[in-house]
Amino acid sequence: MFSTKSTLGELAVPTLSLHCSAPITALGEIFDEQPQIHGILLLGRRGESRQVVTRSRFLAKRGHLLFKELLLDGTIADYAAWSPQEALIFDADTPLYQAAEIALERDGEHAYDPVVAEFPQGTEQIVCMRDLMRAQADVLQSASRTANETLSRFLKSQEDLLQARKMEAVGTLSAGLAHELNTPLQFVGSNITFLQKLHAEYGDLAPDHASLELLKGFLADWRDEVPGALADIRSGLARMADIISAMKSFSGKDGSAYGAVDANATIQSAATLTQGLWNGRIELRPDLALALPSARGKANALVQVWMNVLTNAFQAIEAAGRQTAGVVDVRSRCGGDGTIEVRIADNGIGMDEDTTSRCFNPFFTTRSPGAGTGQGLAVVHRIVVEEHHGRILVESQPGRGTVMRIMLPAA
C-alpha cells in the first residue's frame, strides 16, 4: 500500500538500455523474447539517456510500411529520429502523486509512456505508467482515509475543547455556586432550628395547665416569627431550585438538541450561574423583551455563550479598577429581520482596535499567564457563527467598555 510519502523510486524496476548505434533488430528481439519489458532506455553518444523506446509504440510502428522500407536495416538512432520519444525523467525521491500528475499532463500520444526515475548514483530505471496509476490510486485512497481521520480528530478535538471549556466554566463558577447554595441553605437550616425550638418549648403545652404567660409567648412567636421563618424557607428552597435548574440547563442532555429555545430563559440561567462572580460587586441590569420569539438552537450551548460573555464583562470591569460600581446591561430584542438580538454592554476596561479584531481567535487572551486560556470568546464564536449560523458585532473603546451584539436566527 502506497501513501503520500511514497516516492517514484519505489516503483522503478531494473531496466535494459541500448546504445543508439545498435541495430533496430535488437529492439525487436528484446520485445519479442521478453514480454515483461515495457520500455528500453536509449543511450546517446556520451552515454546519456534522453529517450525511451516503448514496447507498445515500437510494435505499432514496426508494422508501418515506411518502417519496413526505410528502417528495417537501420540503427536505433534512425528509429528514434523517425519516432522520437523524449523521456520524462524524475528524481527517484519525487513523490508518487507529484510524478503521476505531471506525467498525465502529457498529450494523448505520450500520456501513457513510461517515465524514468533517476537515482543519486546516476543510474536510471523505468517506471511503467500502469504501475504508477495503481500506486496513485493507493495514494488517493490513503490520502482520503487520512483526511477522514484528520477530520474526525478535528471534530473530536473541537468537541473536547467545548467540553473542556464547559468544565473550566464549572470550575470557575463552583466557588460562587457554593456560596449561592450555602446562603439559602442557611435560611432553611436556621429557620428549621427555630421551628424545632418552638415545638420543644410549646409542643407539650396543654390548655388545662398552661400558664397565661406561656400562651402569650407562643402566640407572639406564632404571629411574629413563624410566617417569616416559613417565607425564608420557601425563598431558600426556591433559590436552590433556580440554581439547580440553571445547572441542569447548562450541563444536562435535555438542552443539547436543536429546537425552539427561549433565549430569555437561557440568559436568566447564565445570570444565575455567574451570580457568584458579580453579586455585591457589579450591578447586572437585565432588560429582557416580553413575548420574545424563540430562537433556533441548543439551550445549553446558548447558556454557555451568555456565561462566557458575562464572565468576560465581569473580568473587564474588575481589570478597570473603577471606584464606582461596575455595570453590565443585558438586553434582548427582536431583530426585525428574522433574528433575535442579545446586547451585552459593560463599562469595563475596553479594548483597542487590534485587540477587538483578535478577541475571537483561539488562545488569544490579554490576561496574565495562568489567568485565562483564551478559549472563552473562541467558543462563543464557534457556537454562534458556526453552529447556530448567527452573527456577532463588537464595539469597544479603551477605558469606556465593550458592547457585544449577538444575533441568532429565530425559530
Question: CA-to-CA distance for 125 and 116, rounded, in angstroms?
Answer: 6
Q: Determine which of 37-46, 196-205, 383-392 has the lowest per-residue pLDDT on average.
A: 196-205
Helices (H) and strands (E) in the chain, counts: 13, 13
φ and ψ at residue 125, rounded to 5 degrees: -135, 150
Tens digit of each residue's pLDDT (9 = 90 or more) over 296-339: 999 888 988 998 999 889 989 988 887 677 999 999 999 878 89
Instruction: Indicate the angle between helix axes 226-251 and 263-273, nearest 10 degrees.
Output: 110
Q: How confident is the model at residue 166 (pLDDT cuts 50, 70, 90)?
A: low
Q: Is 130 helix (H, G, I), strand (E, B) or coil?
A: helix
Mean pLDDT of 283-301: 91
Q: How confident is the model at residue 206 (pLDDT cuts 50, 70, 90)?
A: low
Q: Which of 195, 177, 166, 173 is nearest to 240 (CA)?
A: 177
Question: CA-to-CA distance for 304 and 252, rounded, in angstroms?
Answer: 12
Check residue 190 and give its pLDDT.
77
Check residue 124 and give its pLDDT.
87
Check residue 181 and give its pLDDT.
67
φ and ψ at residue 200, rounded to 5 degrees: -65, -35
Residue type, 243: I
Q: Which of 55, 125, 65, 46 is nearest to 85 (CA)?
A: 55
pLDDT at 13 over 80: yes
Q: Which of 51, 58, 70 is nearest to 29 (CA)?
A: 58
Check residue 372 and give its pLDDT.
46
φ and ψ at residue 275, rounded to 5 degrees: -60, -35
Q: How confident is the model at residue 345 (pLDDT cuts 50, 70, 90)?
A: very high
Check residue 178 and give its pLDDT.
57
pLDDT at 136 over 70: yes
Check residue 364 and give its pLDDT.
66
Check residue 343 and give its pLDDT.
97
Check residue 389 and give its pLDDT.
92
Q: How confident is the model at residue 388 (pLDDT cuts 50, 70, 90)?
A: very high
Task: Give the side-chain half-sphere CA count within 13 A for 268.
Answer: 13
The residue whose grid cell reads 477587538 is: 356
pLDDT at 88 over 50: yes
Check residue 157 and give its pLDDT.
64
Q: Which of 145, 131, 132, 162 is nearest to 36 (CA)?
A: 131
Q: What single DSSP character describes residue 324?
A: S
C-alpha cell at position 46: 556520451
Strand ranges of the sheet holding 401-409, from the earlier edge strand across to the other edge: 282-288, 326-334, 339-346, 401-409, 391-397
Q: What single DSSP character describes residue 375?
A: -
Q: Is the dihedral of CA 86, 91, 92, 94 positive or negative?
A: negative
Question: CA-to-CA distance for 234 and 224, rounded, in angstroms?
Answer: 17
pLDDT at 170 over 60: no
* Residue 13: count of CB within 10 angstroms of its CB: 14
pLDDT at 96 over 60: yes
pLDDT at 11 over 60: yes
pLDDT at 112 over 80: no
CATH class given for the domain over 257-411 = alpha beta
Tens digit of each residue's pLDDT (9 = 90 or more) over 323-333: 677 999 999 99
Check residue 32 and give its pLDDT.
87
Question: CA-to-CA distance for 242 and 249, rounded, in angstroms?
Answer: 10
Q: Which of 11, 190, 207 is nearest to 95 (CA)?
A: 11
Mean pLDDT of 245-270: 76
C-alpha cell at position 6: 511514497
Share of the chain above pLDDT 90, in %: 21
Instruction: Indicate the angle between helix axes 299-320 and 226-251, nearest 10 degrees.
Output: 110
Domain 8-127: CATH superfamily is CBS-domain (3.10.580.10)
Question: CA-to-CA distance for 247 and 304, rounded, in angstroms?
Answer: 11
Share of the chain above pLDDT 70, in %: 76
Q: How far is CA 231 from CA 188, 202, 220, in A?
A: 10, 21, 17
Please report, for the chain, the start and end positions of each structural domain, with discontinuous segments joined by +: 8-127, 156-251, 257-411
Q: What single DSSP character describes residue 51?
A: E
Q: Give the residues across from 133 on adjacent strands.
A: none
pLDDT at 174 over 70: no
Mean pLDDT of 127-146: 83
